[in-house]
Each structure stands twice: as structure tokens, then as C-alpha cells.
Amino acid sequence: MMNATAARHCPAMLISAPASGQGKTTIAAALAYYHRQQNRKVHVFKAGPDFIDPQILSFACGQPVYQLDLWMMGEAHCREILYNAAVDADIILIEGVMGLFDGDSSSADLAQKLNVPVAVVIDAGGMAQTFAAVAYGLAYYRANLPFAGVIANKVGSPGHAKLLEEALRENMPLLAAMAKDDAIGLPSRHLGLLQADEIGDLDLRLARAAELLSSLAPCRLPQPVAFAPIATTPQPLLLAGKRIAVARDAAFSFIYQANLDCLQAMGAELTFFSPLTDPVLPKADSIYLPGGYPELHLQTLADNVAMKQALHAHHQAGKPIYAECGGFLYLLERLTDKDGHAAAMAGLLPGSAQMQKRLVNLGMHSLQLAQGEIRGHSFHHSQLETTMQLFTTSNPQRNRSRSENFYRMGSLQASYLHTYFPYNPQVAAGFFL
């Protein structure tokens, strides 16, 4: 058991907004890039289970980005990883999710539980004094919400920035003002923003955004926050001596850094491979196929027959395979994109999937297996057709989400769920044993 030590103090803020589409990710990435240019070590977190925004934020800050979610991870684990970041960070930024008070586990809930002050991003285009009224409403809608200040987005001029700042209450500093510039926008697709590796000029966009962020008003550091240590128990070495091959390329990139950390903490050695380009599997005891965008790489995946044969050989040898969402789709016999183009996948599991133009399922889930409960989420646009018999089903956290089936065929386990390994390392270890 680790003994508690002194709290760490580090400037920190949670970046939220009145609604989605206000520019939270652009602002958070610009802030990370700006402070990194000032030779500060920046640690960035993302509220909720998102995979895509963290890729852009990681590019901006030069560090791995971790998720924060009170339900999926637990409050103690959220506090633990924030404290670990505060040990060597010069600033901590947390990008919120949706609007400040939206959802059953909102950004405001996270800010209050973790005592991290909120900085609200407000699209100031076409606004004057009303900007301050919106900020005031967000700050005082809920009692005892820690509040850092306001960040103005899409500001027209230095004069506009000054007008906005003068309209704010004295206890609401203008932390930054971003000038309007369409060139810094981040392109998107059906699941959200494009992945960082797909935006060829991302470095130029972020450099320009960081420049604009400090051109109209000073870019201020938030106040230091005290992060208390959490007593932790070392992970059991359940995977000591095991070598796990993890798929990681443009088609399979939806993976929590915390999952990789958890596997390594349990003694596993990780090696990475690409189902898109590699003809063979690395030498490994188990395989981890995370989610991603296999539907965008149908023909390349189909044409890599050698990799599909290697997966079959691994499975026939009785070695474990664990697949989530996109990795699950890759193991089916056939996958069809939203335009009707189909291709043969690995064929380890009977069935096919068709991409839909609308979201099929979204939500947080609890999965109960023999080793205990593990939590995660689903977010997919594909519809599955299969003759497989389900092993068990997940329990959605909210009624708006449907349960997800969990399948087991010999040493292969798969589902649409993206599970969070640190919530229950024993269950996670069971995927690879």
C-alpha cells in the first residue's frame, strides 16, 4: 500500500462551454500548444470515454492523454491519475464533454468532484455584453461550482476582445481570446473529428491557433489547484511473462492509454502490429484488437490475406484474442461500408456487419463476467448479423442505450464494448489468459 504524501499544487482548469460546437477541442489544443511553446510541461485529460479528441490533444501537448469519467473509472482512480500528472506538470488542462451541465455525469459534476475550476469557452461571434451574461449564468447556475474564468472564441478584433473583457464581472477573468480564423478549424466525420494522423497540416493549424490565442489579449495561467494523493495497491502480476500483440494503425487506434498501462503494470510485455500492412503477427501469447475505423480500409484489410491466415493460426492454437468494436468487426466474415462497398474480413467469427448512416448504439455499460464487473462504453454505426450465440450481455447505465452482446468462441472474446481495464484488472487479465 502506498502511503499518502503531501498534496501537489499545479495550475489547472476544466475547459467547458454552453454547448457542443463552441470550439472546446480547438481551444484546449491551442492552449496546450501555446503553453508547450512557453517551455511548460502540459498534461491534458479528456472528460468522458472519447478516443478521437485525445489524439489531437496528445499531438498538441506532446504527452499521452488520459480520460476522466467518474462512472467508468471511479472517482478515486480519476484523482490518482490527476495527482500523478501534477507531480511533474506545469499546467493541467481537462477538456469537458458537451455543454457544461449536460449529461448524467456532466463536466460540472467532474469539476466539483475533483475541485478543478471551470473555464468556459463562449463563441463570441455576433456578441457584445450578452457574452458576459452567458458567462454569469454558467458560473452561477449551480452553487459552489469552482470557476476559473472565461475564454472568448471567434473574436473579431482587439476592440471586440476589450469590450468582452470589460463586460465580465470582476471575479470572472478573461483567460484568453481566440481570433476568428476558419483555417484553424478541425475537420470531422461521423464519429467526430478526424484522427490526428489524418490531418496532414495539424501542426500548422495548432501553431496558428496558439498564435491567435495570444494576439488579442494575454493568455493567462489558471490558479494552482491542490491535488491530494490517493493510497493505491500495486496491480497483481497476473500477466507476468505474457507477451501481448496489440493492433495499432490507421484502422485500429481507439485504445485507452490507461489500458496499455494496466497491462504493463500486471507484468505483460506489449508489442504492436498493423493488420493493414504487416504480413505476419509478432511472436505473442495473446492478441488485442482495439476499435477504430476498419470500414475506411476495407480493401486493404481484405487484401492482407497473410495477416488473416496468421490470426486463424493463432486462434487454432488456442491462444487468446480479445477484440473490441472495430476489432470485433474485423474478425467477422464480411463488412460493408455506408456506401454499400463490401469486403471479406478475417472470418474468425460467423456473421457480417453493415455500416449505417445513423448511430446504432451509444452509452456507458457494465459487463459482469466470472472474474467480476468491468465498465466501458459503446459507440457504433454498424448493424451486426450473426448466428453466434451470445455469452452474456452488458447492462447499460442509462435506458437510452441498448445492451451489447458479449461473445466467446474458445479462446476468442469479442463485443462492441470498449472496456476500461483499470476498473477491474482481474477481468482485464482474463481477456488475455
Provide the angle, in degrees to the nearest 10, between the axes of the packed helices 158-167 and 130-140.
50
Beta carbons within 10 angstroms of residue 135's beta carbon: 24
The answer to whether 20 and 30 have CB atoms below 8 angstroms apart is no
Catalytic pick among 10, 61, 78, 325: 325
Task: Determine the pLDDT at residue 21.
Answer: 85
Q: What is the pLDDT of residue 3?
A: 43
Architecture in CATH for domain 8-227: 3-Layer(aba) Sandwich (3.40)
Q: Where are the domains of the chain?
A: 8-227, 243-430
* Under 8 Å between Cβ of 186 and 26: yes
Residue 27 is predicted with a pLDDT of 94
325 is catalytic: yes
Q: Identify the bridge partners of residue 153 per DSSP, sorted by sequence position.
A: 123
CATH class given for the domain over 243-430: alpha beta
C-alpha 349, offset from chain centre:
28
Listing DSSP states for 354-422 in one string gives EE-SS--EEEEEEEEETTEEEEEEEEE-EEEE--PPPSEE-EESSTTSPP-EEEEETTEEEES-EE-GG
Which residue type sits at 215?
Answer: S
Residue 49: count other Cβ atoms within 10 Å of its Cβ: 23
Give the per-residue pLDDT at 283: 97
What confidence tens digit (pLDDT) does each residue in 212-221 have? 888 888 888 9
With a cut of 50, which residues of the chain have pLDDT below it?
Answer: 1-4
Domains 8-227 and 243-430 share a fold: yes
Query: Shortest CA distance to 415 belongs to which of 388, 249, 427?
Result: 388
Could you tell me how far CA 190 lies from the centroid of its own chain?
Answer: 16
Segment 65-96, tens digit of pLDDT: 999 999 999 999 999 999 999 999 999 999 99
pTM for the whole thing? Answer: 0.93
